[in-house]
Amino acid sequence: MNNSHYDLVIIGAGMVGACLASLLSRSGFSVALVEAREPRPFDSKDDVGLRVSAISPGSAAILEQAAAWKAVNASRNRPYRRMQVEDGVESDPLLFDAPAFNMERLGTIVENALLQWSLWQVVGSGGLVDVYCPDQLDRIEFGDNSNHVYLQSGKVVAATLVVGADGAVSGVRKALGIRQDHFSYNQQGLVAVVRKQKPNPGVAWQRFLSGGPLAFLPLEDGRSSIVWTQPSDQAERLMKLDAEAFNEELDRASEGWLGQVESCGPRAAFPLSMRLSECYASKRTVLIGDAAHVVHPLAGQGVNLGFADAAALAESLIRVRLAGGDIGSAKVLQGYDRYRRSESEAMAFGMHALRSLFSIDALSPARRIGLAVVKRSWTIRDLFLQRAAGVGKNAPRLATGASLRDLMQA
Ligand SMILES: Cc1cc2nc3c(=O)[nH]c(=O)nc-3n(C[C@H](O)[C@H](O)[C@H](O)COP(=O)(O)OP(=O)(O)OC[C@H]3O[C@@H](n4cnc5c(N)ncnc54)[C@H](O)[C@@H]3O)c2cc1C
């Protein structure tokens, strides 16, 4: 394919943008994908990367339709069937077991580098997507029937619909002039790969501590990828500790779980924030993934929300195309905006409430009553799990078993 007018131009080939490019190109749309940096090839001989994601079953189904899940599944990943949540005070943890909810697995821990590389391979080969890389968005000229995207290389591409998948500091959102609520948690997520005395048996474990949650996510070789949320000053202090002192602190924080820390690899820390855009679509342009919303990582939902955005948008555009409509019309954009904004705001505020519940004094009646209700109520746990698994009642059809072919025949 080689033209400069496309059905869609997607800015950003992170996990979310590349997933959308694959879904839409495989559904017959002409797609251009613009990316600033080509991802590094994934090599399973390298050690496990510091950035991993808990991929929900719903996202795995979407990635299967994007033709990327097979490669992910054949490489380094670790499914988990149990989620164990502790509050650091009560002795009995809150358990979520996949079979109790009629699920085969609750999710799969996958390195971001593997996901991104698998998607990049799909969109970069096969000739279905025109990839502009390395290149960057310079500006967008908005028009009534199409938009013109000017790239820093001097190239210009026109499209019926422009998609901003360019991450939290989105240039597309800026070009649209969309306002965003930005709440900094004044916390950082410290990540590292850790070996404990006993191998991780395939459990996503999380303990809520006074500074924030500490998660151990299982890896294929029995190690765990940790995300340790801490107030920024504490995270900076932990980053500066030598290995022995750091391991001692981690031991204290994770006492009783898989024995002592045996080793810990390099550490990195990321500032945490919640960002909610006041609208996700305008002027023949939509936002997906972190460009539209950023949520606290305590339930590992950020990229899962992004995959659901990509699936929802693909479904809507396929429907419109089948009916002979305009994929960039205001009506189509409003439908996407309403649906995805309500879903991600519900998730963002849910994470916010959970974080607030666990940040209040451990002995406070509000916290104890809140936790007791969650522990006893199967309905609440079921609802929580369905949402976390990406298969709740408002999930896109591609997340719950429909194929692109099903959608195109509808
Ligand atoms: C500590 C931590 C742990 C996390 N754990 C999880 C988890 O377990 N599960 C989960 O679901 N989420 C998790 N998240 C969130 C998740 O990492 C993000 O939601 C996800 O990476 C967002 O992907 P994206 O494709 O939307 O954006 P990005 O990954 O930011 O990709 C944007 C892409 O756009 C490109 N780009 C940017 N600007 C331009 C431009 N002007 N022109 C061209 N290209 C451009 C960039 O190069 C990049 O490739 C976590 C986040 C943190 C901080």
- Where do the domains of the chain lie, and which CATH numbers do they carry? 5-78+110-182+274-409 (3.50.50.60), 186-272 (3.30.9.10)
| pLDDT of 363 strictly over 60 | no
Residue 379 predicted with pLDDT over 90: no
Q: What sign does the dihedral 29-17-307-119 (CA atoms) show?
A: positive
In this structure, which residue's CA is closest to atom 49 in ligand 1? 14
Q: How far apart are CA 58 and CA 334, in angstroms?
A: 24
Asked whether 157 lines ligand 1 (CB < 6 A), one says no
Would the CB of 17 count as within 6 Å of ligand 1? Answer: yes
**CA 290 – ligand 1 centroid, Å:** 6
Confidence of residue 1 (pLDDT cuts 50, 70, 90): very low
Rounded alpha-carbon distances, angstroms, from residue 262 to 154, 237, 244, 275, 402: 53, 21, 10, 37, 44
pLDDT computed for residue 4 by the predictor:
83
pLDDT at 366: 65
Confidence of residue 361 (pLDDT cuts 50, 70, 90): low
**Other CB atoms within 10 A of residue 391 CB:** 19
Our answer on whether the CB atom of 213 is closer than 6 Å to any ligand 1 atom is no
The whole-number average pLDDT for the span 123-151 is 95
Check pLDDT > 90 for residue 342. Answer: yes
* Residue from 303, 304, 351 to probe ligand 1 pocket by mutation (most atoms less than 8 Å from CB): 303
Determine the Cα–Cα distance for residues 373 and 212; give it in Å rounded to an integer: 21
Instruction: Answer whether residue 260 shows pLDDT above 90.
Output: yes
Cα 159 from Cα 7, distance rounded (Å): 5
Ligand 1 atom index nearest CA of 290: 26
Least confident of 148-157, 373-382, 385-394: 373-382
Q: What is the pLDDT of residues 261-306, one digit of tens each?
A: 999 999 999 999 989 999 999 999 999 999 999 998 777 789 999 9
pLDDT digits (tens, 9 = 90+) for 198-213: 999 999 999 989 888 9
Residue among 382, 406, 399, 408 nearest 340 (CA): 399
Q: How far does residue 31's CA lie from ligand 1's centre (Å)? A: 21
Q: Which residues pair with 191 in a beta bridge?
A: 227, 268
In a 13 Å sphere around the CA of 210, the CA atoms on its Cβ side amount to: 6
Q: 292 CB less than 6 Å from ligand 1? A: no
Instruction: Indicate if ligand 1 lies below 6 Å from the C-beta of 299.
Output: no
* Ligand 1: centre distance to CA 288 (Å): 11
CA-to-CA distance for 253 and 239, rounded, in angstroms? 15
Tens of pLDDT, residue by residue over 35-53, are: 999 999 999 999 999 999 9
Reported as a single tens digit per residue, the pLDDT across 110-132 is 999 999 999 999 999 878 999 99
> Is residue 29 within 8 Å of 91, Cβ to Cβ?
no
Ligand 1 proximity of 16 Cβ (cutoff 6 Å): yes
Q: Is the minimum distance from the CB of 300 to ligand 1 under 6 angstroms? A: yes
Strands 5-11 and 156-164: parallel
Averaged pLDDT for residues 340-347: 90
Quick check: CB of 111 below 6 Å from ligand 1? no
Upper half-sphere CA count for residue 331 (Cβ side, 13 Å): 4
Ligand 1 pocket, residue 159 CB under 6 Å? no
The pLDDT value recorded for residue 346 is: 85
